[in-house]
Amino acid sequence: MTNKAEDRTFVRGTALVLATAVALTGTGATAAVAAGRDPQDGLQREVARHVLAVGPPGYLARIDDGRRVQTLAAGVADRNTGRPLTARDQFEAGSNTKTFTAVLILQQVDRGRLTLDAPVEKYLPGVVPNGEKISVRMLLNHSSGLFSYTGDPDFFADMEKDPQHVHTEAELLAIAFAHEPYFPPGQGWQYSNTNYTLLGMILRKQTGKDMPALVEERITRPLGLKHTYFADPRATNTGPGYARGYAITYANGTPQYTDTSNWPIGGWGGAAGAVITTAGDLSRFFSAVLQGRLFSQAQLKQMKTTVPLPADFPIRGGYGLGMFRIDSPCGTVWGHGGDTMGHHSTAVATGDGRRTAVTDVTGEPADLTENPGVQRYYQAIVFGADTVTTCQMLGKPVPADVLGDLRGDTPAAGVTK
């Protein structure tokens, strides 16, 4: 990234902030802890203090280190009523949805209905420019080169002017295809929401069912995920409680908040980012995926076959089929994450799915230009707290430079690359 406008389009439902998950608790936090153990150690209290200090109204986390499960929450779920956030609350999961979509595609491969290396033209004839050169695999691992509609410089500015507009797939593709591709098919890597819009279209054409029905029928019902669904187009089933999301602007020095909870995430995120879930459900989902419970072991191997990420990308590792391999300072984990107009969520797990960490922060920067508040948000949460939690999940000590990012000891200007 070279400026905040690029940074922001990268973040909204994309890859900059997908690295890891955050542990959070602190004074006044609500907490429910398995086996009666108290997770509120000094490091977690410090994480809470620094994360909430940069502006988000609330934060929740679920950490399973293979021995015990900690569920933590701090702050409020609703700034208007002051309702405390709980670890059971539902939230917009953003681009964690991509792993759901990838699972549905790999199930079709198991059924013999799809071939990963077949061209998109075979399944969506006449829809995708150069579609005969772009394979289904390239859509899944972001090597297609197709421009992401969220990368259009007017996309989010237009959304804020008309936040209730429900985009059609045709509108999103028109925005994407008005731009030149990032590179020829298979000749690079660039995160693109357009890829997953197309995968959703393939699924509907093949099955005759839309994404809400497929997610319920083939994922949430088999796994018993009672509080997870695909927003069509808004969050309506708020289950045990709903964590409202807020767009935060920092330009005036003091954070300003816009409640985005009734904005139609399904009307722009779609198959790339419209799942609503809870920390417990998302943990169970990623554990099941990495244990091969939703498709064959052959497809799990395909999912975990990665392409390298660019050298200047904030995450070290690779991208498979709807999932990151993250080579964190404390060890390799797998997962995804996502950002909507009001939420930043993360989900990571060990390769065997036995340890998981899922978090959600109920605020997302909305500034179109760079400023110290935005820089500090990413420094504290993305480069600091997220990595702290991965280390805690893995039972490893946190490196000093990661603690420096959390505390703000390193220059905030170094946040954007």
The helices-and-strands tally (H runs, E runs) of the chain is 15, 15
- Mark out the alpha helices in 13-145 (DSSP H runs): 42-53, 97-110, 120-123, 136-141
Identity (one letter) of the amino acid at 279? A
Q: What distance in Å separates the CA atoms of residue 8 and residue 153, rounded to the nearest whole number?
A: 10
> Catalytic: which of 95, 135, 144, 261?
95
Q: What distance in Å separates the CA atoms of residue 386 and residue 152, rounded to the nearest whole number?
A: 28
What does R_g of the chain's alpha carbons equal in angstroms? 20
Q: What distance in Å separates the CA atoms of residue 25 and residue 48, rounded to the nearest whole number?
A: 5
In sequence order, what are the beta bridge partners of 47? Answer: none
Let me know if 95 is a catalytic residue: yes
Residues 6 or more apart from 387 whose CB is under 8 A from it? 19, 20, 328, 329, 330, 398, 399, 402, 405
- Which whole-number Å values give the CA distances from 317 to 203, 212, 362, in the listed order? 28, 31, 27
Residues 6 or more apart from 252 whose CB is under 8 A from it? none
Nearest alpha-carbon partner for 381 in 116, 4, 17, 89:
17
Phi, psi of 300, rounded to the nearest 5 degrees = -60, -40
Q: How many CA atoms lie less than 13 Å away from 404 in the CB half-sphere?
A: 9
- Give per-residue burial for 10-46: e unless 16+ CB within 10 Å, then b: bbbbbbbbbbbbbbbbbeebbbebeeeeebbeebbbb
Q: Which residues does the annotation mark as catalytic?
A: 95
